[in-house]
Structure 1
Amino acid sequence: MASAFCSRLARSHGVSPRGTATEATHWLLIEDPSPWSTDAVEDAAWGPSVHEAIAGWTDTMPDLRVQLIRRGLQRWDDPGRIRCIAVRAGPRPVVREWSLGAYGDLPALRVPEALRGSGPALEAGPLVLTCVNGRRDACCAKWGRPVAQAVADAAPEAAWQTSHLGGHRFAPTALVLPDGTHYGWLRPADMADLVGAHRDGHLHDLDRVRGAVHQPRPVQAACLSLRQRRGATALPAVRGVGLDETDEGWAVRVRAEGEPRTAHVWQEQEGTPFPHSCGSREAKPQRAWRVRWTADEAAGP
């Protein structure tokens, strides 16, 4: 069991990816094509002042997540320059870009202020970040790299490899920014269609969507439940508008094509415990989301 790939184990145990996206509205993407360690950001050789600046930004903006990105190992997007991209994910995105001469220039950036502003998304279209960090989990390298290459073949300007995104049991996993859709169990053959769908304002294959990173996981689960029930792939078709804790879980308020809906959402343990990481001997239980819609919708799965 310990030597098995966690992604295959999860699929064999019937795990659902619904409602498992990483929760972070704000993202800072820093180009670094060097080999990445298990803790890629923390171990990056950028110097103390850079790490102090990042710590200050994350203290100011707790939902800021920092990722390393690269076109490929030892491949710079623009040799001699460092790409840095800040994104506020969601239906009203903000995208800011900088081209730096050295990592020592990072502390001068006003990242929280930039992300709290307003402005258009990148005209170039979606960014697709595929996790390939094999030092963190073997599944991400084994299955993530072919997916990353497929994105690069289909849309080179959209394709970035990235450090750990979370949820390697769903590898290969990828994040689309700025809309914030987190996918799992992707296939190389999916990627051209996935990029095309997001360029057209749609999701690709709802069964592989983990959720939207700018939403809490109970909201992710409710929104995906309704999307799957209706076959609604348009990005603005379903959106979470409210979340309240209840004795049993959460009450989630959703707007579906302009109409209000309410779902009761909770988690239950299901199936046989299994290791959630490659090489781990610790079998962990799997908790699945349950969604029940109020009388204005039929009961959901």
Structure 2
Amino acid sequence: MKRGNGCGHCPGSHTGELPCLASATEKARSWLLVEHPGPWPERVEQLARPAPVAEAVRAARNAGVRPQLIRRAGRRRATPPIQVYAAFSRGADVWIEGRELADPADLAALDLTALAAGRSPGLGERLTEPVFLVCAHGRRNACCARTGAPLARSLTARYGHRVWETTHVGGDRFAANLVCLPHGLCYGDLGEPEAMAAADAYLRGEVVLSRLRGRAGTSELAQAAEHFVRAHTGRLGLDDVTAVDVRPRLGTSGYKADVTVLGHRYRVVVEDVQQSAPCGPECDENLKTYVVRELTLLNEAALV
């Protein structure tokens, strides 16, 4: 699949020219993925049919869980049964569980309050394989359908059942977008080579910094600080970064963060800056990005 060169109304957009670091959604720490082939409304909370799925979406939002509708790329099966996943991506104890439900009404039995707190909602045993979500939500944003749908087909050809199309994941201006669960790693502005590099890295327990938007469920400032320290140290393991503590830098417009990487602590000073939307109002979400001003190793004696 070739990378797109525009959205139809804005030639030259989505070409990898805009930095996408520290742009993953801050609120998604727990996830409920429900198979629904469509049609998808503009916003997932507007879903009306089927009623059990719509009710589960509303209940998840009310409980503080991120609901995502999912479907297979290309040819889609009629449902039920429906595939359902629950995932928790906060901290080091991440997990995902899932199973098929013969009756969508069984969604009502899930304990979404437990899921929001990082506990099983009752879907069964935890899974050992990841799930890859590709945003293909055309009614929300045309760029996502134009770039996401073909990318989902390409990834499905390589990674099979691990791949699903999904509704809006944030960052329309970075279409095509990929989310790797259970860690909640978000990548954007992807063509096929970049997406496969990200998926392959995730399967071997690493991140790829190119096109990495960040980790969902953490603040943008923490995402930025982690990104800069990983770039500085070359530490790409999923669990290499164990702590990020961010606070304002008094007397300045910047922020400072202490980032712990394999026992070594770094001080990072970052500032936010604005960038322009690639497609005009349709992709005009949060347009901040971050730059690093200082990066210092605090416990130099700990180096080996």
TM-score by length of structure 2 reads: 0.82
Label 1:87 to 1:32 Cα distance change in 2 as closer, same or farther (>3 A): same
Q: CA deviation at 1:129?
A: 0.2
Give the match for residue 302 of structure 2: none
Aligned match for 2:269, one of 253, 257, 264: 264
Give the match for residue 86 of structure 2: 86
Q: Is residue 291 from structure 1 mapped to residue 300 from structure 2 by the alignment? A: no
Helix, strand or coil at the partner of 1:140: helix
Q: CA deviation at 1:198?
A: 1.0
Give the match for residue 177 of structure 2: 173
Label 1:121 to 1:186 Cα distance change in 2 as closer, same or farther (>3 A): farther
Listed one character per residue, the Cα deviations across residues 189-228 of structure 1 (whole Å, up to 9, x for unaligned) are: 3344332221110113x12100011211101111111122
The AA in structure 1 aligned to 2:9 is: A
Q: Would you say the 8 A contact 1:274–1:284 is kept in 2? A: no
Give 1:95-134 correspondences, 5 Å limit.
95-114=96-115, 116-117=118-119, 122-123=127-128, 125-134=129-138
Q: Is residue 46 from structure 1 mapped to residue 50 from structure 2 by the alignment? A: yes
Label 1:57 to 1:67 Cα distance change in 2 as closer, same or farther (>3 A): closer
Give the match for residue 143 of structure 1: 147
Q: Is residue 189 from structure 1 mapped to residue 193 from structure 2 by the alignment? A: yes
Helix, strand or coil at the partner of 2:114: helix
Give the unaligned 5+ runs of structure 1: none
Aligned match for 1:20, one of 23, 30, 40: 23
Helix, strand or coil at the partner of 1:235: coil
Label 1:133 to 1:201 Cα distance change in 2 as closer, same or farther (>3 A): same
Label 1:261 to 1:128 Cα distance change in 2 as closer, same or farther (>3 A): same
Q: Would you say the 8 A contact 1:46–1:104 is kept in 2? A: no
Helix, strand or coil at the partner of 2:22: coil
Label 1:27 to 1:284 Cα distance change in 2 as closer, same or farther (>3 A): closer
Distance 1:137 1:273 in 2: 14
Q: Would you say the 8 A contact 2:140–2:168 is kept in 1? A: yes
Q: Would you say the 8 A contact 2:7–2:13 is kept in 1? A: no
Q: Would you say the 8 A contact 1:128–1:176 is kept in 2? A: yes
Q: CA deviation at 1:51?
A: 4.2
The AA in structure 2 aligned to 1:233 is: L
Q: CA deviation at 1:264?
A: 2.3
The AA in structure 1 aligned to 2:119 is: G
Distance 1:254 1:134 in 2: 38
Distance 1:284 1:71 in 2: 27
Q: CA deviation at 1:252?
A: 2.0
Listed one character per residue, the Cα deviations across residues 81-139 of structure 1 (whole Å, up to 9, x for unaligned) are: 1111110014311223242223322111112314532798521x221100011111111
Listed one character per residue, the Cα deviations across residues 138-191 of structure 1 (whole Å, up to 9, x for unaligned) are: 111111112111110111121110011111110111100011110011112334
Distance 2:85 2:95 in 1: 10
Give the match for residue 253 of structure 1: 258
Distance 1:220 1:170 in 2: 16
Distance 1:294 1:34 in 2: 47
Q: Percent identity?
A: 28
Distance 1:29 1:95 in 2: 10
Helix, strand or coil at the partner of 1:9: coil
Give the match for residue 65 of structure 1: 66
Distance 1:20 1:229 in 2: 19
RMSD between superposed Cα atoms in Å: 2.9
Q: Would you say the 8 A contact 1:29–1:67 is kept in 2? A: yes
Q: Would you say the 8 A contact 1:240–1:254 is kept in 2? A: yes
Q: Tell me the number of residue pairs that the alignment of Structure 1 and Structure 2 aligns.
A: 285
Give the match for residue 210 of structure 1: 213
Segment drifting more, 139-148 vs 191-200: 191-200
Q: CA deviation at 1:44?
A: 4.2
Distance 1:275 1:146 in 2: 20
The AA in structure 1 aligned to 2:203 is: R
Helix, strand or coil at the partner of 2:214: strand
Give the match for residue 240 of structure 2: 237
Give the unaligned 5+ runs of structure 2: 1-5, 299-304
Label 1:98 to 1:158 Cα distance change in 2 as closer, same or farther (>3 A): closer
Distance 2:49 2:242 in 1: 40
Q: Would you say the 8 A contact 1:71–1:159 is kept in 2? A: yes
The AA in structure 2 aligned to 1:96 is: E
Helix, strand or coil at the partner of 1:84: strand
